[in-house]
Homo-oligomer: A and B are copies of this chain.
Amino acid sequence: MKAATRPYHHGHLREALLRAAEDALETGGARSISLRELSRQLGVSHTSPRRHFAGKEALLDALALRGFERFDEALGRAAGKPGQEFKSRLTKLARAYVGFALKHPALLSLMFDAKQRADAPEALRQASERAFGHAPAAFAEAQAAGEVVPGDPSRLALVLFSTLLGLVSMSTGGKVKGIPLDRLIGEIIDRTILGFRPR
């Protein structure tokens, strides 16, 4: 009954810290994350995090990196396969993106802030680029089929993702001017396809 009070976090303290930090992030914002408080929650001394992260900034960066990795997976699953209808693929990608953004708003904000920093780790930039690399494939295929204007496909995809990203930023609680984002996505996709259709 006493020995049980010693989880000691053999190998997974790092994991536990990241998990607890993400909880705090979504609950009380980035400012509410405290290494000492996390240590208390996990029952380790306040200097233990130091073994796994060089400092608080490093923990936040690791959190952002994991965010990008999950983001990448979600978009990868939604990206679809060659041969599927262009509009349907874009719609799935868009819903995946918006879904992630609405589910983890504070994490997404942290991810972008971290990536923007002048001294951002290279891994962060790469993870971001990987995640945003799924849409261009769909555009390239549509170009080959003559449904979309020529040009760098990743630049075309950029326009769609920018729009969605901005839409989420301008929304409050998943709504813009009372209209749910879900309903706006279809409109955006239609306009995007129209704008990219060869004249």
- Interface residue range, chain A: 35 or more
Contacts of A194 in B (CB 8 A): 194-195
Check B172 against A116 for contact (C-beta < 8 Å). yes
Check A162 against B162 for contact (C-beta < 8 Å). yes
A188 at the interface (CB under 8 A from B): yes
A162-199 vs B, CB cutoff 8 Å, 1 = contact: the mask equals: 11111101101000110100000001100110111000
A1 to chain B, nearest CB (A): 42
A105 at the interface (CB under 8 A from B): yes
Of all chain B residues, the one with the shortest Cβ separation from A117 is B29
A69 to chain B, nearest CB (A): 18
A91 at the interface (CB under 8 A from B): no
Q: What are 7 inter-chain pairs, A to B, with CB distance below 8 A?
A: A109-B116, A112-B169, A116-B172, A159-B163, A159-B191, A162-B169, A165-B170
